[in-house]
């Protein structure tokens, strides 16, 4: 055996041992990566949620009547814009007039809200959630959430568009009334929800749902909302659209 042959054999054995070690260490991770890559490709086509939204007529108001007089209303609102403006860097500005009425139809409060909405491309690039309509050409720009307080309690709410920047094709909203809250029923209200819903409600908490104290559960249960539908007839007084949400995953940005 020559020295050269000895070193060659030794080098081969070292490389072989390193390969075995690397395979042992990294093959589970590699396998996991391949599995995740496959499932993430499938996930790209999946939707996370769908919601009914109501597109406002630019020239006349849309109104909603609550199921009971409320102090607090949650509004989720967004503009939809022309496809060719989806990358507009300066974003979009629009204004809403919100009027609240009591049970006798008397106006009890009015708010003018001017909102800035990021362009669809910016929302898509910076967030985890993307929103779209399956059956419409407009693209959805940045969404806003408004909380409107009313004192005295309001029986109805009305919205009108008072300003809409060029390129905004529609303004859509969802309206939620604050659910009546009974201190004595917080635990049963919480327990009536599925395990997944309890986990979702408690996700900001340090402890899992079964370890939450009564006060913590009361705080979670207090923040519950019920959707309200608009007055009138679909197609005549308002346009209902179905908004889809999907989770943005790596790879999707390139496809867009």
Partner 1 sequence: MTGRAKVILPLVVAGLGAGVAALAFAPLGNAARADAGSRETFTAARAMFRRALADAPDVDDAAKLGLNIRPSDGDWNGILLSEEEGDCAGRGAYLLREGTPFPLAITAPHRGSDHHTGTIAAELFAETSAAAAAWNSAPRRAGEACDAAIDLARQSQHIFTAFSLAFAETFPAGRVVQIHGFDGDKRNSEAARNADIIISDGTEEPSSKLLDLADCLSRRLAPRPVIVYPIETGELGALNNAQARVLREEAGFDGFVHLELSAQLRAELVQDDNLRARIGRCLMEAAQ
How many whole angstroms separate alpha carbon 49 and alpha carbon 203?
18
Kindly tell me which of 111 and 192 has the beta carbon lying closer to partner 1. Answer: 192
Binding status of residue 49 toward partner 1 by CB under 8 A? yes
Q: Is 47 in the site for partner 1 (CB under 8 A)?
A: yes
Counting contacts by CB under 8 A, is residue 129 touching partner 1?
A: no
Residue 253, H or E segment: helix 252-255
CA distance 245 to 233: 26
In the bound state with partner 1, the residue whose beta carbon lies nearer, of 152 and 227, is 227
Q: Which of residues 81-120 bind partner 1 (CB under 8 A)?
A: none
Cα radius of gyration (the chain) = 27
165 vs 219, beta carbon nearer partner 1? 219
Please select the residue that binds partner 1; options are 59, 194, 203, 215, rule is CB under 8 A.
194
Least gap, CB of 228 to partner 1 (angstroms): 7
- Contact between 202 and 208 (Cβ < 8 Å): yes
Could you tell me the smallest distance in angstroms from the CB atom of residue 42 to partner 1?
8
CA 242 to CA 173: how far, in whole Å? 11
55: CB partners within 8 A, 6+ apart? 80, 170, 171, 172, 238, 239, 240, 241
Mapping DSSP to helix (H, G, I), strand (E, B) and coil, where does residue 107 land? strand
Tokens of 152: 């005295």
Minimum distance, C-beta of residue 191 to partner 1, in the bound complex (Å): 11
Alpha helix positions (H), 60-166: 120-126
Contact code string over 215-234 relative to partner 1, x by CB under 8 A: ------------xxxx---x
Select the residue interacting with partner 1 from 187, 240, 253, 256 (CB under 8 A): 240
In sequence order, what E strands does 165-255 have? 168-178, 225-228, 239-247
Q: Does 181 bind partner 1 (CB under 8 A)?
A: no
Please, what is the minimum distance in Å from the beta carbon of residue 96 to partner 1? Answer: 20
CB 30, min distance to partner 1, A: 27
Based on the shown chain and the rule CB under 8 A, indicate whether residue 241 belongs to the binding site for partner 1. yes
Q: Which of 213, 187, 211, 181 is nearest to 199 (CA)?
A: 211
SS3 236: coil
Q: Give residues in contact with partner 1 (CB under 8 A).
A: 45-50, 52, 54, 134-135, 192-197, 227-230, 234, 240-242
């Amino acid at each position: 055996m020559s020295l050269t042959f000895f070193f060659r054999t030794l080098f081969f054995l070292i490389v072989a041992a390193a390969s075995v070690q690397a395979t042992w260490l990294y093959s589970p991770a590699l396998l996991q990566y391949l599995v995740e890559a496959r499932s993430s490709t499938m996930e790209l086509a999946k939707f996370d949620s769908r919601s009914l939204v109501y597109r406002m007529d630019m020239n006349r108001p849309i109104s909603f009547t609550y199921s009971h007089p409320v102090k607090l209303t949650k509004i989720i609102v967004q503009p939809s814009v022309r496809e060719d403006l989806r990358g507009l860097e300066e974003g979009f500005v629009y204004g809403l007039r919100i009027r609240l009425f009591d049970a006798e139809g008397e106006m009890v409060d009015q708010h003018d809200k001017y909102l800035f909405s990021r362009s669809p491309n910016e929302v898509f690039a910076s967030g985890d959630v993307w929103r779209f309509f399956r059956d419409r050409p407009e693209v959805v720009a940045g969404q806003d959430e408004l909380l409107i307080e009313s004192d005295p309690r309001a029986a109805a709410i009305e919205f009108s568009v008072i300003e809409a920047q060029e390129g905004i094709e529609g303004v859509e909203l969802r309206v939620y009334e604050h659910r009546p809250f009974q201190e004595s029923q917080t635990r049963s209200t919480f327990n009536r929800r599925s395990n997944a819903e309890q986990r979702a409600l408690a996700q900001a908490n340090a402890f899992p749902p079964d370890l939450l104290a009564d006060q913590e559960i009361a705080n979670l249960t207090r923040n519950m909302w019920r959707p309200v539908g608009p007055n009138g007839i679909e197609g005549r007084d308002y346009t209902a659209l179905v908004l889809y949400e999907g989770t943005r995953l790596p790879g999707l940005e390139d496809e867009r």
